[in-house]
Chain A
Amino acid sequence: MTDIPTLHGAAKVDKESPFIRFLRATEIDARLLGMIAALILIWVGFHFYGHFVNGFGAFLTPRNLWNLSVQTSSIGVMATGMVLVIVTRHIDLSVGSILGFSAMSMAILQVWILPEFLGLGHPMIWIITVVFGLLIGAAIGAFHGYLIAYLSIPAFIVTLGGLLVWRGAAFLLARGETISPVDATFKHLGGGPFGAIGSTGSWIVGLLGCTAAVALIFSGRAKRRRFQFPLRPVWAEAFLASISCGGIIAFVLLVNSYPWPKGIVKQYVAANNIETPVSEIFISHGFAIPVLIMIAVGIAMTFLATRTRFGRYVFAIGGNPEAAELAGINTRWVTVKIFALMGMLCGLSAVIASARLNSATNNLGTLDELYVIAAAVIGGTSFAGGIGTIYGAILGALVMQSLQTGMVLIGFDAAIQQIVVGTVLVVAVWIDSVYRRRAK
Chain B
Amino acid sequence: MSSETSGTPLVEIKDLSIAFGGIKAVDQASVDLFPGEVVAILGHNGAGKSTLIKVLSGAYKRDGGQIFVNGEEADINNPRDAKQYGIETIYQTLAVADNVDAAANLYLGREILTSFGTLDDAAMEAEARKVMGRLNPNFQRFKEPVSKLSGGQRQSVAIARAILFNARILIMDEPTAALGPQETEQVSELIQQLKKEGIGIFLISHDIHDVFDLADRVAVMKNGQMVGYARTEDVSKDEVLGMIIMGKCPAGAIAGPGAMQEA
Contact = CB atoms under 8 A, between A and B. Distances in A.
A13 interface: no
A324 B97 contact: yes
A325 B58 CA distance: 10
A308 B119 contact: yes
Interface stretch (A67-75, A327-335, A362-370): A327-335
B1 interface: no
Nearest to B96: A323
Nearest to B125: A227
Interface in A279-331: 303, 306-309, 311-313, 315-320, 322-330
B98 A327 contact: no
B148 interface: yes
Contacts of B9: none
B193 interface: no
Given A227-B122, A308-B118, A322-B93, A330 B80 contact: yes
Given A312-B119, A328-B110, A329-B108, A227 B126 contact: yes
A191 to B, nearest CB: 32
B93 to A, nearest CB: 7
B91 interface: yes
B95 A320 contact: yes
Contacts of B109: 313, 324, 327-329
Given A326-B59, A326-B79, A319 B97 contact: yes
Most buried by A among B78, B98, B111, B148: B98
A315 B126 contact: no
B113 A309 contact: yes
A269 interface: no
A323 B118 contact: no
Nearest to A223: B122
B128 to A, nearest CB: 11
Contacts of B196: none
A316 B97 contact: yes
B97 A315 contact: yes
Nearest to A303: B118
A306 B100 CA distance: 11
B188 to A, nearest CB: 25
A283 B186 CA distance: 73
B39 interface: no
A311 to B, nearest CB: 8
B141 interface: yes
Contacts of A226: 122
Contacts of A316: 97, 99-100, 104-105, 108
Contacts of B161: 327
B119 A307 contact: yes
A34 interface: no
A431 interface: no
Interface class of chain A by DSSP: helix
A317 B83 CA distance: 19
A347 B97 CA distance: 32
Contact of A326 (B57, B104, B125, B148): B57
A229 B142 CA distance: 11
B102 to A, nearest CB: 13
Contacts of B104: 312, 316
B162 to A, nearest CB: 11
Nearest to A87: B99
Contacts of A329: 108-109
Given A307-B119, A328-B83, A328-B110, A312 B100 contact: yes
Contacts of A223: 122
A1 interface: yes
A5 interface: yes
Nearest to B116: A307
A325 B79 contact: yes
B108 A327 contact: yes
Interface in B39-93: 57, 59, 78-80, 83, 89, 91, 93
Most chain A CB inside 10 Å of its own CB: which residue of B79, B110, B117, B126? B79
Contacts of A320: 95-99
Contact of A324 (B108, B113, B123, B145): B108
A323 B100 contact: no
A203 to B, nearest CB: 30
Interface in A201-228: 223-224, 226-227
B144 interface: yes
Given A315-B99, A386-B98, A326 B83 contact: no
A303 B119 CA distance: 10
B100 A307 contact: no
A223 B123 CA distance: 10
Nearest to A330: B80
A5 B100 CA distance: 16
A315 B98 CA distance: 10
B100 A319 contact: yes
Contact of A307 (B105, B118, B123): B118
Contacts of A240: none
B193 to A, nearest CB: 24
Contacts of B119: 306-309, 311-312
Contacts of B98: 319-320, 386
28 contacts: A224-B122, A227-B123, A227-B126, A229-B125, A309-B113, A312-B119, A313-B109, A315-B97, A316-B97, A316-B99, A317-B97, A319-B99, A320-B96, A322-B95, A323-B96, A324-B108, A324-B109, A325-B79, A326-B59, A327-B79, A327-B95, A327-B97, A327-B108, A327-B161, A328-B79, A328-B110, A385-B99, A386-B97
Interface of B: 57, 59, 78-80, 83, 89, 91, 93-100, 104-105, 108-111, 113, 117-119, 122-123, 125-126, 141, 144-145, 148, 161
Interface of A: 1, 5, 223-224, 226-227, 229, 303, 306-309, 311-313, 315-320, 322-330, 385-387
Given A323-B94, A323-B95, A328-B83, 11 more contacts: A229-B122, A229-B125, A308-B117, A312-B104, A312-B108, A316-B108, A317-B97, A319-B97, A319-B99, A319-B145, A330-B80
